[in-house]
Amino acid sequence: MSPTETPAVGLTDVSMAFGGKTVLASVTLDIAPGSVVALLGANGAGKSTLIKILSGVHTDHGGEVRVAGEPAALQSPLAARQLGVQTVHQRIGEGIVPGLSVAENLVFEELAQARGNPFLNGRRVLARAREIQAGLDLGWSDALLRRDVIELGISDRQLLILARALATRPRLLILDEPTSALSAAEAERLFALVERMRDDGIAVLYVSHRLGEIDALADRLVVLRDGRLTEDQAKPFDWDAALRAMLQQRPARQAREATTARPVREGAEGEVALSLRGVRLFEGRDPLDLDLRTGEVTGIVGLLGAGKTELARGLFGAEPFTTGSVALDGRPYRPKRPSDAIRAGVHLVPEDRHADALVPGWSLARNVSLPFLRSLSRTGLMNTAKEDALGRDTIENLGVVARDEHSTVEELSGGNQQKVVVGRWLAETPRVLILDEPFRGVDIGARRDIGRRARSLAAEGAAVLVLSADVDEILEIADRVVVLAAGEIHLDAYGEDAERDRVIQTISASV
């Protein structure tokens, strides 16, 4: 951007805090018209908060936001859109209205702002919907436009939301993980559209974990780490520097505290508990082979979209693998559902504790006991004494801060909720424990407690698999480090071969 050019949108010293915790700290950023700026950051870096401020969702922030050079009060999503800031969110379901037709969803913003009752004029709605979908060259028939939007597949829903956003000719278009649900052909169509928008003078803030897309599309990249901008580059990009800025090491004191129980091993030691052969995580990618050994913590590190969650859910039977084979203690292991995995001694701490693990309104003890109701009951009656004992054991073994085992999970902090989820899967000693992003949203103390328990479990003879997008989290806990990118293994190393610089260089080379 030239010194005399007015930014499409600018931020000066924008800050935000929740419950006393700073999530954005003095962020200053100008986005020029006709430019594509890529926003990078690990989980918890502050990307979502920044997007919600620009989208008018979070209004109680410090600093100033300017649109076309003028101070702007983005007091609501509607106010942001009226000023020309359109956002295509990652959660597609939030952008559609079930019960309305595809056409009505395409023109929804215009309908919501129109006077009278335009819903009664189906002919006008259909005509306008044809115009909007033509902007993306979607080629949808009138019959499809008349269907309930809920009948659309997830990729078509995403294209619908994008077409609706572009119909307003925005000043700034925010794309949050826009290709997450698109096929390769649909993604190529999106890339061509982004380039056309840039040529038309629209500013684009592009948030994606797919670094290849950023390399191809973006004119500039900025990196958020712990709520601060740590890198700002123009093309051609220095990916080593960008990744170091995104995954930079924590203060040495914290790292020492977290790693005091971690031994340094130079190679494999335990027996193979779980063995994967020829398992393909993504269509069109090479299959992988992987052994998990007893007495060992294997850490898999990779950026969002690397295949970590697909691997975890496949091993747990939540989304069974369609290729290859898996053996548990030398015998075929083919879980068709999570209950099969639990019976076999394979336990999973899922990535999203709220959506996939915790039951609101239930006590700590009841949440811990949920997967093991069969073993805790007799003739259909729950043994509440045993259930309460499991809750107390979780509090004691993982240092959960709670009134007692009868506290509801809503009463607990995020870190203590995560400890409850981990404690659930330790209620019965597993053969294999899988922890998918177990440290997300927890403080250093909770991370140490969870890591200590995972290591002690490995010492008792279990195989432990930890998956994280954070290099330092993996280095703090793992004996062995595996780098995963696009469903393929790019590094599998112990000891000095798993040093931080090599791990980051491997991630960078896989872009």
- Note the pLDDT of residue 114: 57
Residue of 8, 9, 5 lying closest to 65 (CA atoms): 9
* 8 A C-beta contact, residue 106 and residue 122: no
SS3 of 237-274:
CCHHHHHHHHCCCCCHHHHHHHHCCCCCCCCCCCCEEE
C-alpha–C-alpha distance, residues 490 and 488, integer Å: 6
- Note the pLDDT of residue 299: 95
Residue 278, phi-psi category: left (phi > 0), alpha (psi -120 to 50), beta (remainder): left
What residue spans in the chain does CATH classification 3.40.50.300 cover? 9-96+152-246, 251-345+430-444+455-511
Per-residue tens of pLDDT for the chain, all 511 residues: 555 679 999 999 999 987 677 889 999 999 999 999 999 987 668 888 899 999 999 888 999 999 999 999 898 988 998 899 998 887 666 678 888 898 988 888 777 665 544 455 678 888 889 888 887 778 889 899 999 988 887 778 878 888 888 888 899 999 988 876 666 677 787 888 889 889 989 999 999 877 778 888 999 999 998 889 999 999 999 988 888 888 765 443 334 344 434 556 667 778 999 999 999 999 889 999 999 999 999 999 988 778 998 999 999 999 999 999 999 999 999 999 999 998 999 999 887 666 667 788 889 988 888 877 777 777 677 788 888 888 898 888 777 888 888 888 878 776 688 788 877 877 677 899 999 888 766 655 667 777 888 888 899 899 999 998 888 888 888 999 999 998 999 999 998 888 888 998 898 887 6
- Note the pLDDT of residue 27: 94
Q: Centre a 10 Å sphere on the Cβ of residue 270 and count the other Cβ atoms it contains.
A: 16
- Note the pLDDT of residue 292: 96
* 8 A C-beta contact, residue 73 and residue 257: no
C-alpha–C-alpha distance, residues 210 and 186, integer Å: 15
Residue 41: Cβ-neighbour burial (10 angstroms; 0-12, 13-18, 19+) = buried
DSSP annotation of 379: T
In sequence order, the β-bridge partners of residue 176 are 207
Q: Which fold is adopted by the domain 251-345+430-444+455-511?
A: Rossmann fold (3.40.50)
* 8 A C-beta contact, residue 104 and residue 120: no
- Note the pLDDT of residue 261: 47
pTM over 0.75: no
- Note the pLDDT of residue 450: 78
C-alpha–C-alpha distance, residues 51 and 158, integer Å: 18
- Note the pLDDT of residue 273: 96
* 8 A C-beta contact, residue 309 and residue 398: no
Residue 40: Cβ-neighbour burial (10 angstroms; 0-12, 13-18, 19+) = buried
In sequence order, the β-bridge partners of residue 331 are 328
The architecture (CATH level 2) of 9-96+152-246 comes to: 3-Layer(aba) Sandwich (3.40)
In sequence order, the β-bridge partners of residue 38 are 206, 221
DSSP character string of 422-437 = HHHTTSS--SEEEEES
Block residue for tokens 């090599």? 502
* 8 A C-beta contact, residue 305 and residue 486: yes
Residue of 208, 200, 290 lying closest to 484 (CA atoms): 290
